[in-house]
């Protein structure tokens, strides 16, 4: 099976690398070997090592499996939970448009516009 090389912006690649490093540190703090985590997550050891290196070619399913094994599944739920920029953009579009009051004409006995 041919693997595709994903091209990421440097900032995105750095974020993936930090995520991978954090997962590796969490594994080491729990004193789990790479073999133990990969077996419990039902993924291959090279896939786990790719996650820990920050490879963009790893499926999100494999990443979530590893987080579950490490007891960090709640962390993935927190992603984009408090979307400050999104809320500001949404609020900017919710401007209240008020109509100008209707003019009453004095020439008309009903006070209505003709």
CA angle, residues 8, 12, 13, in degrees to nearest 5: 70
Express each pLDDT in 90-111 by its tens digit.
887 766 666 767 777 666 656 5
Range of the domain at 48: 10-92
pLDDT of the residue at 1: 46
pLDDT of the residue at 102: 75
Domain membership of residue 51 (yes or no) is yes
Domain membership of residue 34 (yes or no) is yes
- Tell me the C-alpha distance between 106 and 112, whole Å: 9
Mean residue pLDDT of the chain comes to 86
Contact 42, 70 (CB under 8 A): no
Count: domains in the chain = 1
Alpha helices in 1-114 (DSSP H): 10-29, 34-41, 45-53, 60-70, 73-77, 84-92
Look at residues 85, 84, 63 and name the one whose alpha carbon lies nearest to residue 75: 63
The structure's pTM equals: 0.71
pLDDT of 66 > 70? The answer is yes
């Amino acid at each position: 099976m041919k693997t595709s090389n994903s091209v990421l912006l440097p900032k995105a690649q750095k974020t993936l690398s930090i995520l991978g490093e954090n997962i590796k540190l969490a594994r080491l703090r729990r004193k789990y070997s790479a073999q133990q985590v990969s077996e419990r997550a039902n993924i291959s050891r090279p896939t786990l090592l790719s996650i820990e290196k920050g490879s963009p070619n790893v499926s999100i399913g494999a990443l979530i499996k590893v987080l579950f094994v490490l007891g960090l599944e709640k962390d993935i739920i927190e992603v984009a939970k408090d979307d400050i920029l999104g809320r500001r953009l949404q609020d900017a579009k919710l401007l209240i448009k008020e109509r100008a009051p209707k003019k009453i004409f004095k020439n008309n006995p009903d006070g209505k516009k003709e």
